A and B are shown apart, each in its own frame.
Chain A
Amino acid sequence: MTVSITSYLMVALILFCVGLYGALTKRNAVVVLISIELMLNAVNINLVAFSKYGLYPAVAGQIFTLFTMTVAAAEVAVGLAILIALYRNKETVNVDEIDQMKR
């Protein structure tokens, strides 16, 4: 049996929505970062699925996924570094309390 593209896209959609929910609601900055990773991975699943079952299947989709993962790793590293710096200065990683952009 073959798994249809709809199933892949469904999994990706659920994953993206979970990630989005986490990113918008969690108070801990680390959890927010993890949620963003989830969203990125949902996108990766889409890319891989289309590279196999899309209208014009090509290996470019899989290669693009590798790039995304690399960039995401770099992004998480930078994000955590900022978070640590922030924690040192403000003694908190609570997103609610980080509101310097106000006004």
Chain B
Amino acid sequence: MDTFLHYAWLIPLFPLLAFIVIVSFGRQLKEGAAIVGIGLTAVSFGIAVLAFWQRFRDGGVDYNYVVDWLHVGDIVINMGFEVTPLNAMMLVIVTLVSLLVQIYSKGYMHGDERFPVFYQYLALFTFSMLGLVISPNLLQVYIFWELVGVCSFLLVGYYYFKPEAKAAAKKAFIVTRIGDLGLFIGICLLFWWTGSFEYGPIFESVALGRLEPWMITVAAILIFIGAMGKSGQFPLHTWLPDAMEGPTPVSALIHAATMVAAGVYLVAATYPLFIASDTALTVVAYVGGITAIFAASIGLTQRDIKRVLAYSTVSQLGYMMMALGVAGAAGYVAGSFHLMTHAFFKALLFLGAGSVIHAVHTQDVFEMGGLWKKMPVTALTFLIGCLAIAGIFPFAGFWSKEAILGAVYGAHRYDLLVIALVAAFFTAFYMFRLFFLTFTGKARGKHEAHESPGVMTGPLLILALLAVVAGFVNTPYAPLLTDWILSTGTGTAIVNVFGEGTEHAASWLQIVALLISVLGVILAYLMYGKKSVSPNSIPEAMPWLYRLSYRKYYVDELYQNVIVRPLGWLGIILNGFDKYVVDGLVGLTAKITQGIGALHARVQSGQIQSYGAMVLFGLLLLILAISLTVEGGGLFGFGR
């Protein structure tokens, strides 16, 4: 049993197998594709759990296995996999969420024409993310990184016949590409400076001080730009809310386990690079903080249930980045911890929202309402998700959010602490605004809602359970996760630099955080539950503020006018240049050649006498030329 980790490479292969099978036999399988996808992902999940358990029990060193892949001159590029506490945890999360999403989709996507295609994409998506997580070097990471991007493009654009979905898919791809470029440059620079793609040698070079400080800062920030694109950090967050055009289970997968987690994971995986540069860490912390409050304030006013959740994701990712950015073991652990708990409750919330949308066929929360009685399971699980994300004791979000606040407080970043607390208040408020509008009060839309089938509510219940208990793996009283993550590899490196420093938030901070969250919930209740405070009071008092939030700070409009439009014009100009100047030159060359050809074709008339005349003319010319040029006057001595 001691070498079980050796088989961890099988984990990504099962979803790949599912992908291949569904691609090959999708037409025959029809809705049976779901069984293939679910079955093989379940196998993956099983192995991931076993690997996780093995990793947990073993402690000690990280498992790393590589084989030679490419020989370029003297450089050997490896391919392999590694199992560290962080990625063992990620493997379980990704396989679990993917499994539950696939089970759920069987109900949600039932009757869809392209059902097998959907499962095909899901399998590929899962494979890519697992490959990304298990990679031991940056080159491999980059390959899977791009695969994840492609899959999100395919899935967001799943309803490709809808123009919004098409636009959203393109936006998701292009905006994340901007980040990918940063990552790519960062990887190239690191390879140039250290001669390796492997995490180990790179971190070693950094630790031994072989790189100049500015090099480390540049590389770390470039990698962080990649992470910003994938994890929807400000200012590259615009694609995430638009990605809601995809089917709801995809949103759950993208937002909880795969796409957006990749960015946070990347920062965590390359953390030794970041801790060597204070500048890079500060950038990470403030970008995270700004994103957290920025997205949360947009979430306050959105009407679309999925958009609210999308902005909450952006905000929570900001939280994670902020935690990673405030240096130290506590921040690192808190970021990873929040990544895990968030995966569970965000998947839960999205799947719950999907269940609601499935029942009422609208995404506007103002057309819902009164669903508590009609959809008890969905409502209850959604409530648990809301409690978890709002950070109410003792749900998962409470523990991880409290860990983040503790880390920020411990690092003496009081400005970020204020931001985090305000964002927590906003989060609690808008999540419960969503809850009260959707499930309580009177039904406002014309719809016959009914509870979703068992394949959909089953995953909801499992996720709800996890959203309740996941936090207990790392409470201040029993910091299991902290001890474990810090026990090897990257974790030890961090402890070496910063010391243990894992003390949790002072108890007054816990209480303050809890009070703030509860306050948010109460305000939401007063406005949308009991309706004793008019929800319109703030918009009426400060309409410009409301509009600013509702229009998402006009960031989309800004990009549209400052970047997209001018680029469009440039495109039109270049297109014109290509069409008229380049093609014109090419066309002109062709026309000239053709013309000369046509001219000469006319000479070939088939008239023997004109041929004869030409021969004579040619002969005369030849004689003339020779007589004029050849030394001594030529044949006839004309020049003499």
Binding site for B on A (CB under 8 A): 20, 23-25, 32, 95-96, 98-103
Contacts and interface: CB of A to CB of B under 8 A. Distances in A.
Contacts of B616: 20, 24
B609 A98 contact: no
A32 B606 CA distance: 16
B612 A103 contact: no
A32 B612 CA distance: 12
Contact of A99 (B601, B607, B612): B607
Contact of A103 (B606, B607, B609): B606
A102 B606 contact: yes
A96 B604 contact: no
Interface in B607-636: 607-609, 612-613, 616
Nearest to B611: A101
A98 B604 contact: no
A24 B612 contact: yes
Contact of B608 (A20, A25, A101, A103): A101
B606 A99 contact: yes
A95 B605 contact: no
Q: Is the interface of B mostly helix, strand, loop or mixed?
A: helix
A71 to B, nearest CB: 20
A32 B605 CA distance: 19
Interface of B: 601, 604-609, 612-613, 616
A96 B612 contact: no
Which of B604, B605, B608, B616 counts the most A-chain CB atoms under 10 A from its CB? B608
A84 B520 CA distance: 114
Given A23-B609, A24-B612, 15 more contacts: A20-B616, A23-B612, A95-B607, A95-B608, A95-B609, A96-B607, A98-B608, A99-B605, A99-B606, A99-B607, A100-B606, A102-B604, A102-B606, A103-B604, A103-B606
A24 to B, nearest CB: 5
Nearest to A26: B609
Nearest to A98: B608
A25 B609 contact: yes
A102 to B, nearest CB: 3
Contacts of B601: 103
Contacts of A20: 616
Contacts of A95: 607-609
By Cβ-Cβ distance, the 8 closest A-B pairs, closest first, are: A102-B606, A99-B606, A101-B606, A24-B613, A24-B609, A24-B612, A99-B607, A95-B609
Contacts of B613: 24
Nearest to A27: B609
Nearest to A20: B616
Contacts of B612: 23-24
A24 B613 CA distance: 6
A96 B610 CA distance: 10
A95 B605 CA distance: 12
Contacts of B605: 99, 102
A32 B608 CA distance: 11
Nearest to A23: B612
Nearest to A99: B606
A101 B616 CA distance: 19
Which of A20, A98, A101 counts the most B-chain CB atoms under 10 A from its CB? A101
Contacts of B607: 95-96, 99
22 contacts: A20-B616, A23-B609, A23-B612, A24-B613, A24-B616, A25-B609, A32-B609, A95-B607, A96-B607, A96-B609, A98-B608, A99-B605, A99-B606, A99-B607, A100-B606, A101-B606, A101-B608, A102-B604, A102-B605, A103-B601, A103-B604, A103-B606
Contacts of B608: 95, 98, 101
B215 to A, nearest CB: 71
Nearest to A101: B606
A23 B607 CA distance: 12
A31 to B, nearest CB: 12
A26 B606 CA distance: 16
Contacts of A103: 601, 604, 606
Contacts of A102: 604-606
A101 B608 CA distance: 9
A98 B611 CA distance: 13
B615 to A, nearest CB: 10
A98 B612 CA distance: 14
Nearest to A95: B609
A103 B598 CA distance: 12
A101 B605 CA distance: 8
Nearest to B612: A24
A95 B616 CA distance: 18
A23 B609 CA distance: 7
Nearest to A25: B609
Contacts of B606: 99-103
Which of A24, A25, A102 counts the most B-chain CB atoms under 10 A from its CB? A24
A27 to B, nearest CB: 9
A95 B612 CA distance: 12
B609 to A, nearest CB: 5
B170 to A, nearest CB: 53
A25 B601 CA distance: 22
A103 B606 CA distance: 7
A99 B607 CA distance: 5
Contacts of A32: 609
Which of A20, A25, A96 counts the most B-chain CB atoms under 10 A from its CB? A96
A16 B604 CA distance: 26
A40 to B, nearest CB: 15
B618 to A, nearest CB: 13
B69 to A, nearest CB: 61
A100 B604 CA distance: 11
Nearest to B608: A95
A23 B608 CA distance: 10
A99 B604 CA distance: 10
B454 to A, nearest CB: 80
Contacts of A101: 606, 608
B607 to A, nearest CB: 6
Contacts of B604: 102-103
Contacts of A99: 605-607
A23 B615 CA distance: 13
B610 to A, nearest CB: 8
A99 B605 CA distance: 7
A103 B603 CA distance: 10
B463 to A, nearest CB: 80
B417 to A, nearest CB: 90
Nearest to A103: B604
